[in-house]
Structure formats: structure tokens, C-alpha cells
Amino acid sequence: MTHYADSPLHPADAASPADERREPTPGVPGVGRLVGLDLARGLAVFGMYAVHVGPAPGQDGVIGYLMELAQGRSSALFAVLAGFAVALITGRRTPKTGLAGRQAVAKVIIRAVILIALGTALTLTGTPVVPILAFYGLFFLLVLPLYRLGTKPLALIAVGWALVGPQLLYALKPVVGGRVFLSYGQADGPVSLFFTGGYPALTWVPFVIAGMAVARCDLAATAVRIRLALTGVALAVTGYGGSWLAVRLVPGAAEAVRKAEQGSGVPSMSSVSPDSIGIFGDAPAGMLAAAPHSEATLSIVAATGVAILVITTCLAAVDAFPRLRRLAKPVIAVGSMSLTAYVYHIVAIWLLNTEGQTASPLYILLGFIASVTILATIWSRFFQRGPLEWLMGRATGVARRIQ
């Protein structure tokens, strides 16, 4: 199976209030909220590993259900967290202005360029994974002009983009071509990054903008967290429930979606199809599907809702249950160096030469999770940042020279 590479981007060089880096203190809400973000990143890393090196999804039992649950949602969660990264770098609740603002913008641009270069390099390794790093770099550049906006304008733009982007991409299909999964080792070009690749910017940027909107909220306030959680539930129900109803009520939709799923779906290693379910399918009815990576509006709405719910749950749990911080420390350690964990698993797949496998036994997935958890836990005992996070911080530190 061709896999989608879900990339966590931890804002190692983000300037944030001091209390957001402290350990959570019982009875003092909010001081562990960035720890909660690291917990969400760690869970997303494990979901990413499940997609890339785990057993085949859809099989009977709990394992099959968990593998199916990770499909598409891990990448959406990372995209929403990427919005957090932009907000943290540019000033989370109060956007930076003046010299600080110019330096923050430069940091985001440097980060984006590095991600594009690193993503291209990982793609050239020829692993059976579609790396998202180059796409992420483009996302950062596209949302940067919005960094001074508040929660409501960002939320409205995210909603509008989710409504218009998929329809526009479908309309552009005769011009830009259908969805193309490049041969292994072949780098993505601009058309792929914007329109036809595994994570086309035209339909993935709403995730990042939604993350920026959430980051602008007062995440220390219990009422805000409750509203965000309810919003996540509402979006998930609207997306998945709306798709379920539409496919059954719109004449011919169910048959069109079934044919799209059977005809291509997520392409396998041995057969790369130019089309897949959703807006890249031949029938417009495919746009009603909320399947993972369908790139349809309902899919974007549903996956955004799940991501917001996971993030708010992690933030609240770290504050409400101080012992969770200690029990989940290994997962949080992985999340704190999620970029390193991402590159680690791509390199490991390359070295293990898994090409040709459509799915892996469960023990391989457990081995990946155990190895990255042990390495991250040991590393975090001696260093505050992961190795790649440290290098990213050094590279973006050049922005401080701007006068």
C-alpha cells in the first residue's frame, strides 16, 4: 500500500509565555497546555506509524478498528497542529508586530524552506510513503499572510476554504489533471504540491488555518475548552453523518462511491492510479464521501472535528490529572520531538526496505513505537529539544539578526 506520511511539526523555536513550558500544577489550570499539545503530537505519531507500518485496516477485531481509525485522521491532526506551530511562532494569543513580527515571519519562511527541502530529500529515498514535509512547507507559506488575524476571522476563512477548495479543485481537474501518486523516489513539483499530490494545498490548508484559530483561543479557560470540544464533536458528526446521509439519499451516489473505492481507493504499491475516491473520482457524487484523503468538504469538516476534539482532550487531561503527566511522559517525549520521530520512521522504512509489502505484522508496528518511545525518553532526560528540532531552532535563529 502507498502510505501517506503524516508529519508532526513541533515549534521548537516558538516564543511562548513561560508558564506554557512549566510542569502542570494541581489546581492551576493552563500551565501545562503545551505539554498537552506534545501529548497530542505523540498520539498522532503513533497513529502515523499505524498507517505506515501497521496491519491492514478494516480487518475484524480491535486492531483492525484502530488501524482504520488512524487512516487520514493522523495527518489531519498534524495539519491542525501545524497551525498551532505558526501561531506559537508568530505570537499565540497576541500576534507579534514591529521587529518581533518581522523576525517571526522570517522564522516561518526559513522553516518552510527547510521543510520543502527535507521533504524532497525524503521523497527521493524511494520509500513506499508519500512524505508530507514538502507540502507542509508550502502550507506554512500560504497561511503566513493570515498570522495577524484573530480566532473568528481565521475560523471563517477555514470554513470558507473548506467549502470552496474541494469544488474548485474538482473544477480544475480537466486543467491540472487527476490525482497523481508519483513513482517512488520522484520528487513532487508545484502542480503536485498545490493540486494533484497526496496532500494538495487547495484542500489541506483549511486544517492549518483551523489550528491557528484554535491556538488564538484562551486555552486555559475551562469554558473555552468545553466549547472547543463540543465544536469538534459537532464538526465530526456533521462531516461523517452528513456524508452517510448524502451517499444514501442522493440518487446514484452510493454506486459511484462504491465504484471509486473498488477502482482505486488508496493506491497500492504495484498499481498507481491517477484517480481516487472523492474529488479525484470520475463522478461528482464522489465528493460526498468523507473517507480518509477523499479531499471532499465533508471529509475536511469531519477530520478537523476529530483533531480539535483530540487536542482539547489532551490539553484538559494534562491539567486535570497531574499524574497523567508522569504516566504519559514517554508519549509526551515523542511528541516533543515529533519532527525527529517522523524522519526517524521514514529512514527506518528506507533501511528496512519494506517496499512491496501491502501491510506489516503487528509486531513491526509495536517495534517502531517501542523504539521511538525509548529513544525519545532517553534523549529528553538530557536535552530539551530533539536533534532535528535543535537544528531547526539553530537555522531559524538567523531571523533574530533582522533589524
- What's the half-sphere exposure (Cβ side, CA atoms, 13 Å) at 235? 25
pLDDT at 2 over 60: no
Give the whole-angstrom CA distance, residue 201 versus residue 144: 14
pLDDT category of residue 10 using cuts at 50, 70 and 90: low
pLDDT at 13 over 60: no
Q: What is the pLDDT of residues 302-332, one digit of tens each?
A: 999 999 999 999 999 998 888 888 899 999 9
Which residues, including other chains, have CB under 8 Å from residue 396's CB and lie 6 or more apart? Answer: 13, 106, 107, 110, 111
Q: What is the pLDDT of residues 24-64, one digit of tens each?
A: 333 333 333 478 999 999 999 999 899 888 887 777 778 88
pLDDT category of residue 281 using cuts at 50, 70 and 90: low
Give the whole-angstrom CA distance, residue 50 versus residue 69: 10
Give the whole-angstrom CA distance, residue 11 versus residue 393: 9
φ and ψ at residue 296, rounded to 5 degrees: -90, 160
Residue labelled with grid coordinates 462504491: 258
Which residues, including other chains, have CB under 8 Å from residue 293's CB and lie 6 or more apart? Answer: 4, 71, 72, 75, 198, 266, 276, 278, 299
